[in-house]
A and B are shown apart, each in its own frame.
Chain A
Amino acid sequence: MLPQEKTLLKISLVVSIIGIFILYLISSKMSLNTINISEINEDLIDKEVKVRGMIKQYQDGPSVKILKVEDDSGFIKVVVFKNKDKNTDLKTKTNIEITGKIKKYKSELEIIAKTIRIL
């Protein structure tokens, strides 16, 4: 290896470690702002969002729970995969905070829940 390559390798190692650390700091500081359900539109497909609302309907399927969540601005369907959900006490009229990705299914927007917190 040429001396210049050795120097470049050392620089690469140092910058990589510093870069990963900076990205870690950014990802830990980056928190989602809560949005109103009415603000959810097709531009947000595949994006992560955080909403708060009340469970208006609750359906328990074999592998998913389907919730209809409502806030002051509107309502949306929330799909919760059971292997990702540790909340056993989800029921109607419970206030929850959901983070998850927006997806489109049969022309309707829905949230695929990543985390659900009971408020």
Chain B
Amino acid sequence: MFVTYIIVVFIGLFLGITSSLIPSLHINLISSLIFTLYSKTEIIDSTLISIIIFVTAVVYSFMNFIPSIYLGAPNADTILTVLPGHRYLLKGKAHEAVILTLIGSLTSFIIIMLLFPLLIKIIPILYEKVKEFIAILLISISLYLIYKEKNSKFMAFLSFILSGLFGIVSLSLKNINEPLLPILSGLFGLPGLFISLYQKNNIPPQTITFPALKSKTVMKSGLASVISGTLFILLPGLGPSQASILGKRIAKLKTKGFMMLSGGLNIINLLLSLITFYTINKERNGPVVIISKLNPTKDIFLIILLISASMMVIFPTVFLALQTSKTFSKVISKINYKLTCLLVMLLITSMVVLISKSIGLLLLAVGFFIGLIPILSGVNRNHLMGVLILPIILFFI
């Protein structure tokens, strides 16, 4: 049994590494594909498949910043890190940006592990307090983010409303496979890549250096990510991206702190989602939704298995992420960046056609034009999360 356990942990590690390096491929889709494959074959136990999915998600949450930083191809969870990460790339210090996100992930992982028993007690109490006010809180946070927009508040509002309407009509379409793939790739993936094609971004040779850091900044960003991550896990529709804005303001973080905060929030979202699944029956994260389908009867033994499996892969993941980033640093200035962006766009479009068919292509196209609006008007792309927030607000009203 122990040998089988180790084998599935390594399968998860392998799947996590390979999938996280494919630009814009979201962990939700990977989990769904593993689940579909499992439900057709049922060759192994549902607990073992849950471990594979969870380990894949843990590894993915550490490594998916690499394509975001080097290629500028974000998914919904990494959109806000791309801009500062891209600045590091243009300064020849993309490897430092990757190190910062890894330090953030590692610090947050350790803090969450230490607080795990406490969070199991606290989260249900907090949820009881906020559940009556979910719609009000979502509206307030969305308006606050629009109000805090430095450039055009009107364009921020328009981006939120248009993406929200897009979300309402898209999510009401029936029997489309993986609707979030074309929706999120259209809004967040293609527009950034498209703009890169027209910008004179000559990628300079990259240097392999370690960022100068103060331990106080590391701890401050770690705590900020745990606090904002815990608050946002209680609210549906809000994810690591929005939590990073709140965390940045709470802790008054600068670029380095923000990169670490963003790095930490992905793993926090995954681990806390496991707690919300166990305590309040709410899964706020795609892979945990699949795990809940596989294990309808919640069992603390399963939670312990998943947590210990994730602990086993943390250090190999960090090591492999550093090696991968070094390789990217060596080749990125030599490759044709525009051609790479074009190929990534083609890859995303092909995946959409393959999985979500022609209706998916329509969603991708509409999402693409909506996604261009905040980039061209210079407002934060975070407002596009209206695509999920507005339908949820309507559901709760």
| A residues at B contact (CB < 8 Å) | 1, 5, 8-9, 11-13, 15-17, 19-20, 22-24, 26-27, 30, 32, 42, 45, 47-48, 103-106
Contacts and interface: CB of A to CB of B under 8 A. Distances in A.
Q: Which 9 interchain pairs have the tightest Cβ spacing? A: A19-B366, A9-B376, A15-B369, A23-B169, A12-B372, A12-B369, A16-B370, A16-B369, A27-B172
A103 B290 CA distance: 12
A10 to B, nearest CB: 9
A17 B366 CA distance: 9
Given A26-B173, A30-B174, A48-B175, A20 B366 contact: yes
Interface of B: 39-40, 158, 162, 165-166, 169-170, 172-175, 293, 296, 359, 362-363, 365-366, 369-370, 372-373, 376-378
Nearest to A19: B366
Given A16-B370, A19-B365, A24 B376 contact: no
A12 B367 CA distance: 10
16 contacts: A9-B372, A11-B369, A12-B370, A16-B166, A16-B369, A19-B365, A22-B362, A23-B166, A23-B366, A24-B169, A26-B359, A26-B362, A27-B172, A30-B173, A103-B293, A106-B296
A13 B359 CA distance: 21
Given A30-B174, A105-B296, A12 B376 contact: yes
Contacts of A27: 169-170, 172-174
A15 B366 CA distance: 7
Contact of B376 (A1, A30, A42, A104): A1
A12 B296 contact: no
Contact of B175 (A9, A11, A47, A106): A47
Contacts of B373: 9, 12-13, 16
A22 B359 CA distance: 11
A13 B154 CA distance: 13
A27 B369 CA distance: 20
A26 B175 CA distance: 13
B362 A23 contact: yes
Nearest to A48: B174
A8 B376 contact: yes
Contact of A104 (B39, B162, B174): B39
Nearest to A4: B198
A9 B371 CA distance: 10
Contacts of B165: 20
Contacts of A45: 39
A42 to B, nearest CB: 6
B169 A42 contact: no
B376 A16 contact: no
Contacts of A30: 173-174
Contacts of B372: 8-9, 12
A5 B172 contact: no
Given A19-B362, A20-B366, 17 more contacts: A1-B378, A8-B372, A9-B377, A12-B369, A12-B372, A12-B373, A16-B366, A16-B373, A22-B366, A23-B363, A26-B362, A27-B170, A27-B174, A30-B174, A32-B175, A104-B39, A105-B296
A15 B293 CA distance: 38
A77 B39 CA distance: 19
B139 to A, nearest CB: 21
Contacts of B40: 42
Contacts of A106: 296
Contacts of A47: 175
A32 B169 CA distance: 16
A107 B353 CA distance: 31
